[in-house]
Amino acid sequence: MLKIAVIGVGNMGKNHLRVYSNLPTINLVAIAEIDENIGNKIAKKFQTKLYKDYKKLVNDERPDAVSICVQTSLHFEIAKYCLSQGIHILLEKPITTNVREGKKLISLAKKNTVNLLVGHIERYNPAVRKVKEMIDKGDLGKITAITARRVGGFPPQIRDVNICADLAIHDIDIINFLLDEFPKEISVNKQRVHIRKRDDSVEFFMKYKNASAYIQTNWITPVKIRKLNITGTEGYLEMDYVSQKIEFYKSNYSKFKEESKDFSDFVLLFSQPDKIDITVAKKEPLKEEISYFLNCIENKIKIDSSFAVEALKIALS
Ligand SMILES: NC(=O)c1ccc[n+]([C@@H]2O[C@H](COP(=O)([O-])OP(=O)(O)OC[C@H]3O[C@@H](n4cnc5c(N)ncnc54)[C@H](O)[C@@H]3O)[C@@H](O)[C@H]2O)c1
């Protein structure tokens, strides 16, 4: 049975704990939390041992793997220590606050032959998986454009990174993942609309080999939207990250171009595509991510998280 611990049990750490505590195949040995109020409450709820000092937890409990869910500015220091102790890590995204430290963690994991998985949670969203499968099968033809919107209100807890590294990075990584390449050109528009000291609204425009991508992310929209739209030569789809629903509009371009006699016929038929609702079994992305992490450890599968550094590089551009 793998011995697991969670370091930092605020917002996200609590979710990791909830998932781990429902897995019969692991042994949740302890948590580390510097805020005693939070720590005591959570340790009691999940009936586990509390350490204030994560180094003491590592030395006393010798866990096989830890989830690191502290603020991003502390990722490097804590991940570096755990990796040097030969512990597998599931590190919350973004990997670090800068690219140099991110690269250092990747090479430390290699050097110590342990797995470092960066928690880019949307990669485990079943709707994203399905869209990836459709793209790879050619259902959308050649992808020409992707638009992602991740907008909503303020996240009170995130104070150490800006909106690019906190939110836009999700879609940056997903678009890289779907297209299986990194952008050749990136331009960014950042604004400080309601927060004076930090960017709270950002748009990325990225040029890939054949496709372009536009990402709109902000903390100033009074309604939460998490959507991805993809246009290809064979169709168009809309995916909702939250409901995990996909609507696919199959293009009639080739079919009607041959069949229709005049242009007005063609235009009419082209604007009546077949709409297909694609259903995927709804699953919690974090559960999928943690299962993947544990499976890789149990079956000695190497994880390469360099994609997380690439996403950070773009987010910070
Ligand atoms: N994957 C996602 O969708 C997602 C969503 C939210 C947050 N996150 C990431 O999770 C991380 C944590 O964010 P959060 O919202 O949970 O923050 P948070 O502030 O709610 O929680 C962080 C916790 O870590 C504790 N902590 C700080 N230093 C510590 C130390 N040395 N030892 C032990 N505990 C320590 C804090 O007291 C706090 O309770 C961030 O990197 C963030 O980017 C990811």
Residue nearest (by alpha carbon) to ligand 1 atom 18 = 10
Average pLDDT for 237-250: 97
Domain membership of residue 308 (yes or no) is: no
Check pLDDT > 70 for residue 30. Answer: yes
Q: Count CA atoms within 13 Å of residue 212 on its CB side.
A: 6
For residue 98, what are its two tokens?
A: 């800068």
Does the beta carbon of 54 lie inside 6 Å of ligand 1?
yes
Does the beta carbon of 279 lie inside 6 Å of ligand 1?
no
- Cα angle 101, 105, 111; round to 5: 140
Q: Judge if 52 and 140 occupy the same domain.
A: no
Q: How far is CA 108 from CA 102, 157, 209, 218, in A?
A: 10, 29, 32, 34
User: What's the total number of domains in the chain?
Assistant: 2
Residue nearest (by alpha carbon) to ligand 1 atom 9 = 92
Q: Judge if 141 and 200 occupy the same domain.
A: yes
CA 75 to ligand 1 centroid distance, Å: 9
Check pLDDT > 80 for residue 262. Answer: no
Average pLDDT for 166-177: 97
Q: Judge if 251 and 293 occupy the same domain.
A: no
Domain membership of residue 31 (yes or no) is: yes
- Res 195: pLDDT: 82
- Res 22: pLDDT: 96
* Digit-coded pLDDT (tens) for 283-314: 999 999 999 999 999 999 999 999 999 999 99
Domain membership of residue 109 (yes or no) is: yes
Domain membership of residue 97 (yes or no) is: yes
Domain membership of residue 313 (yes or no) is: no
- Res 264: pLDDT: 76
Helices 11-21, 285-298: inter-axial angle, 10-degree rounding: 60
pLDDT band at 133 (very low <50, low <70, confident <90, very high): very high
Q: Judge if 131 and 232 occupy the same domain.
A: yes
Q: Judge if 85 and 178 occupy the same domain.
A: no
- Res 121: pLDDT: 98
Q: Judge if 178 and 292 occupy the same domain.
A: no
Local structure of 224: helix, strand or coil: coil
Q: Judge if 239 and 290 occupy the same domain.
A: no
- Res 252: pLDDT: 81
Amino acid at 216: Q
Check pLDDT > 90 for residue 268. Answer: no
* Digit-coded pLDDT (tens) for 143-155: 999 999 999 987 6
Average pLDDT for 131-158: 91
Does the beta carbon of 305 lie inside 6 Å of ligand 1?
no
- Res 297: pLDDT: 98
Give the chain's mean pLDDT.
94
Check pLDDT > 70 for residue 260. Answer: no
pLDDT band at 12 (very low <50, low <70, confident <90, very high): very high
CA 78 to ligand 1 centroid distance, Å: 12
| Pairwise CA distance, residues 305 & 166, whole Å | 17
CA 28 to ligand 1 centroid distance, Å: 19
Q: Judge if 82 and 65 occupy the same domain.
A: yes
Q: Side by side, which strands form the sheet with 212-218?
A: 185-191, 201-207, 212-218, 143-151, 225-232, 235-240, 246-250, 274-278
- Res 120: pLDDT: 98
Average pLDDT for 159-180: 93
Q: Judge if 144 and 209 occupy the same domain.
A: yes
Q: Judge if 89 and 232 occupy the same domain.
A: no
Domain membership of residue 314 (yes or no) is: no
Task: Give residue 89's domain range.
Answer: 2-120+286-302
Average pLDDT for 99-104: 98
* Digit-coded pLDDT (tens) for 181-191: 999 999 999 99
| Pairwise CA distance, residues 169 & 181, whole Å | 15
Q: Judge if 146 and 262 occupy the same domain.
A: yes
Query: In CATH, what number is assigned to the domain containing residue 58?
Result: 3.40.50.720
- Res 156: pLDDT: 58
